[in-house]
Structure 1
Amino acid sequence: MIKKLLATIVLLFSLAITAQSGTSSPYSFYGIGDVTFKGAAENRFMGGVAVFSDSIHLNLSNPASIAGLKLTTFTVGGTNSRNKLITNTQESKASRTSVDYLALAIPIGKWSVSAALLPYSSVGYRTQRLAQNVNETSSRFEGSGGVNKASIGTAYSLNSKWNIGANVEYNFGQISTTSYEFLPDIQLGSREKNVSNVSGVTFNTGLMYQSRVNNKFDVFGSFTFTPETKLALQNERKIATVTGLNSSGSDEVQVDVDDTTVNLPAKFSVGGGFGVVRKWLIGTEVTFRESGNLGSRFTDISNVGYENSQKYSLGGYFIPNYNAYNGYFKRVTYRGGLRYEKTGLIIAGKSIEDMAVTAGFGFPVGNGSFSNINLGVEFGRKGTKAASLVRENYTNFTLSLSLNDKWFVKRKYD
């Protein structure tokens, strides 16, 4: 089944990933946008905990994990995000639906190889302030685009306890931001449009550990490291006069701006878990990122700074009886978790934080198949109303499909 569906799904979702807007956050204006990738759905439902290697699910957070796969695995996931934006004076709502990832991994003996396409960051916002009288200024700010990753990776099983792996990732995308301004007593307004074409290569390495304790319990360990790298930005700026917020503009002039580079800071994570394979697990993971080196796309963006970021995850799963012959819900995987993140973004002297609680279910497809459908929800809050900023209360509904099959089996009969 996976072979028949693969070509069509890859084509459709590749187009969707590169064309979508995956966020409605005003904080996506800064840096290279809002970092939207939070791992595969199975790990996301556990607060982001990705400390173990699964034989039938892809763990997109640690490249070493694919060495534990027993079957060729194809997975795709998408999220519907509903966001409530709150300031000290206003409230508004926004909704987005986006593709989270598209990935394939193939085990070949002790080696495994993988390929994935996913959005790394996203820009998507529109805010405006309309003049209440002739002496006030009207303005609007909007943005779209983001950065995508195309990655290939490999992993190797050193022995029954240790796996190592590495990914090489090509980053690409376009970010567009536009601002309108109408001053009092001036008939025409101005529009400034900035476009950045982003490109660059990153690397990600991983190590995973699993061992049996007292012939009953399993202990898991995970470590990943991504060295600092740079993304190249080819920038373009155009200014035009406009008669209104929705006018096409006239007398457009291109302004010289420098091409820039943005640092993607070094990142590393470490985590551990305890449980019984295919029965239950509880785990925790900590991720550190040197966001203080991030920087902005343009040198004239003020009132923003960056600091080192940390993310703390706690979560787990429970399966009543994974091979039960009767009682379907005994084979369902129940997941839950908590996540807290200090994003590394500082605006008006305020650190922007993000926290969430997650829950999800993994539903087996058929009696003899290892494929499954995963459904889950994430309730979270990001930002603050202090210093005239925006607090976001969001709800993310995520759906993923994991298809499993055995490839490269030599036929016994022609």
Structure 2
Amino acid sequence: MYKHFRALFLFSCLCIGSQQLQAQQLSNSPYSRFGVGDVVHGTGTIRSAGMGQVGVGNASGALINDMNPALLYYNNLVTFEAAVASELKRISDKKESQIDGTANLGYLSLAVPISRFWTSSLSLKPYSRVNYITYLTAPVAGVEEGTASTFTQYKGTGGLNEVSFGNGVRIANGLTAGVTGSYIFGTIDKQATTILVEEGETSDLQQTLFHTTTKYSGLLFKGGLHYRKKFSDKISMGLGSTYTTKAVIDADRQVAQERRALDESLISGITTDSLEGNTTLPQMVQVGLSIDNNKTWSAGLDYSTTKGSDFRGFSLNKNEGRQELGDSYRIGLGTEFTPDPNSVSSYLKRVTYRVGGYYGNSEIQAVTLGNTTGSIQTLKDMALTWGFSFPLGRGVRPPDYTQAMLNTSFAIGQLEAKESGLKEQYLRVSLGVTFNNRWFIKRKFD
């Protein structure tokens, strides 16, 4: 038991160290400029990622399912999970493209059964990620064409984190309920840098910077229900649903204006704005249907929708900020299969195999410029996913009662608004470990 948890502690330290180094940044995403960034809240763990983001109705006794807190009841062992996530992304438009990527902390989760009818969990995971650099060149209005231009760089970093405390209980035969309370916190930095270039003037160029730092903090709540019905020894079905409330969180904003030389040396600077306000995070509804054979195979179909139009940016008064997002949805379909969990002759039969996919609209809305007006285009997000769980060690046997798994998931997909000409193609890879252990077992002597 102890050697496994020493490894667990070391892995956790490595994950947290990765979080500090990477500051929660994945590869450049121009769309993370809107709202509070690329929102990953509600997308689940590695198991869900390998099954097309399915999990609202799929119970598991060996892996933590944080998509639906009602499913925590099925974790009757002390379970710890940790994961890192990486992404390789190709961003292209009609003229050029770029490729980049990096890695960061995926999540840390611990589930502990309190009684036969109640399991609690504690987790740390990202809520959103911001990381973008975009450029804009434009002529200066009111002067002769071609004599002066502005070059502007928009840059953003940071994101929001989520610390969650969840509880799942059985309230009747086959019926479970759960609730999760989350503390949302984090900092998002945004910077706009402009250089004015006049024809024939190349010396003493200066940059004008507007730097906005916003610190967020607040509470978020999710409730869930799940009903599981066993029809025979080989067929069971589950139906789950969750509701995440709209949340008004604190947002403390500070805006500074600076003038710098091209070598980044400071010429002058002043804090122009320091205010305490609010930001409204949108509500989310998820429903899921699952079917399994009570042992080696399960499949699920999920639908989720986020009312992005509820989002409001920074404002001094509640629910009065800028509306930057639209409503979104996602449909996911996935399955997992373990040929023979108790096989002695073949290791590959003890491996769990997963495959799935998802399709939907993002909350981000792209604006396509026409001859006179702009039109709003929805961003289509679609991907094919797969993954594996590899058992480690000796499995569950006395005296340590510990089992461990190495989990992987992969997703290859794209985010695109066809009329805008901008496309993101991505490969996402997650790697994690799971430890299951029976605690508080009384020793027996013959």
Q: TM-score, normalised by structure 1?
A: 0.92
Q: CA RMSD in A?
A: 2.3
Q: What are the within-5 Å matches in structure 2 for residues 15-414 of structure 1?
A: 15-17=17-19, 19-37=23-41, 38-50=43-55, 51-108=57-114, 109-128=116-135, 135-185=148-198, 187-244=205-262, 247-256=264-273, 258-297=275-314, 305-348=324-367, 349-369=376-396, 370-384=403-417, 386-387=419-420, 390-412=422-444
CA contact (8 A) 2:26 2:101 kept: no
What SS class does the counterpart of residue 56 from structure 1 fall into?
coil
Give 5+ residue unaligned stretches, structure 2: 140-145, 368-375, 397-402
Greater displacement, 288-297 / 9-18: 9-18
**Cα distance, 1:341 vs. partner?**
2.4
Distance 1:368 1:214 in 2: 28
Q: How many residues get paired?
A: 409
Q: Give the CA deviation at 1:311.
A: 1.1
The alpha-carbon deviation at position 401 of structure 1 amounts to: 0.7
Q: Distance in 1 between matches of 2:90 and 2:322?
A: 24
Q: How much has 1:129 moved relative to structure 2?
A: 5.1
State the Cα distance separating 1:286 from its structure 2 match.
0.5
Contact 2:395 2:404 in 1 (8 A): no
SS at the partner of 2:420? helix
Give the C-alpha shift of residue 367 in structure 1.
Answer: 3.7
- Deviations, residues 366-386 of structure 1 (Å, cap 9, x unaligned): 342432111221001013253
Which range is displaced more, 139-148 or 121-130? 121-130
Tell me which structure has the larger Cα radius of gyration: 2
The alpha-carbon deviation at position 202 of structure 1 amounts to 0.4
Distance 1:90 1:52, change over 3 A: same
Once the two structures are TM-superposed, the CA of residue 27 in structure 1 deviates from its matched residue by 0.6
Shift of 1:157: 2.0
Structure 2 distance, partners of 1:182, 1:226, is 44
- Shift of the alpha carbon at 1:159? 4.0
CA drift at 1:395:
0.4
Asked if 1 retains the 8 angstrom alpha-carbon contact of 2:27 and 2:88, the reply is no
Q: 1:303–1:347: 8 Å Cα contact kept in structure 2?
A: no
Amino acid at match of 2:285: F
Alpha-carbon separation, structure 2, partners of 1:12 and 1:334 = 27
Letter in 2 for 1:322: P
- Structure 1 gaps, min length 5: none
CA contact (8 A) 2:26 2:104 kept: yes
Partner of 2:270, secondary structure, is: strand
1:155-200 superposed Cα distances (whole Å, 9 cap, x missing partner):
1123441221111100000000111111122732211111000101
